Amino acid sequence: MSDCIFCKIANHEVKARIAFENDRVIAFHDLFPAAPVHLLIIPKAHFSTLNEVPAEQAGLLGELMTTAVQLAKELNLAEDGYRLVMNCNANGGQSVYHIHLHLLGGRKLTWPPG
Ligand code: 5GP
Ligand code: ZN
């Protein structure tokens, strides 16, 4: 997707503070952090929303989560805790239409979200 900001980050066309990368996924710091630690973990392949991800890509979704857990451990969030969130479409609060898993931590997070 040529006009997708997260595709551009995945392609290194747009700068981001990258925390992890392999052939399939890339993790980078959110530009407007909502917590002391706020990373976004995305697939390099473009899927606009979770609704577009076919069941055969379950492994890729799993890799987003295991990557987030690994980063949470490396950033010493694991013991105190953290939150993983993926928003979908307008009611879910999605604003960037390339799926991304939020990793939030470093403070006590409230529940339920607004
Ligand atoms: P959503 O609301 O779609 O779940 O989350 C999108 C997230 O992307 C927001 O937390 C927002 O701050 C972040 N974001 C939007 N544009 C950029 C950008 O250009 N670079 C980075 N690093 N984060 C961005
Ligand atoms: Zn994209």
- Report pLDDT digits (tens) over 8-66: 999 999 999 999 999 999 999 999 999 999 999 999 999 999 999 999 999 999 999 99
* CATH assignment at residue 80: 3.30.428.10
**C-alpha distance from residue 53 to each of 45, 95, 98, 105 (Å):** 10, 18, 11, 26
Which tens digits make up the pLDDT trace of 79-99? Answer: 999 999 999 999 999 999 999
Evaluate whether residue 113 is within a structural domain.
no
Assigned domain for 34 exists: yes
pTM above 0.95, yes or no: yes
Ligand 1 centre and the CA of 15: distance in Å?
13
Report the number of distinct structural domains present in the chain.
1
Cβ of residue 5 lying under 6 Å from some atom of ligand 1: yes
Domain that holds residue 101: 5-105
The ligand placed nearest to the CA atom of residue 43 is 2
What is the best residue among 20, 26, 38, 40 to mutate for testing ligand 1's pocket, by most ligand atoms within 8 Å of CB?
40
Centroid of ligand 1 to alpha carbon of 96 (angstroms): 6
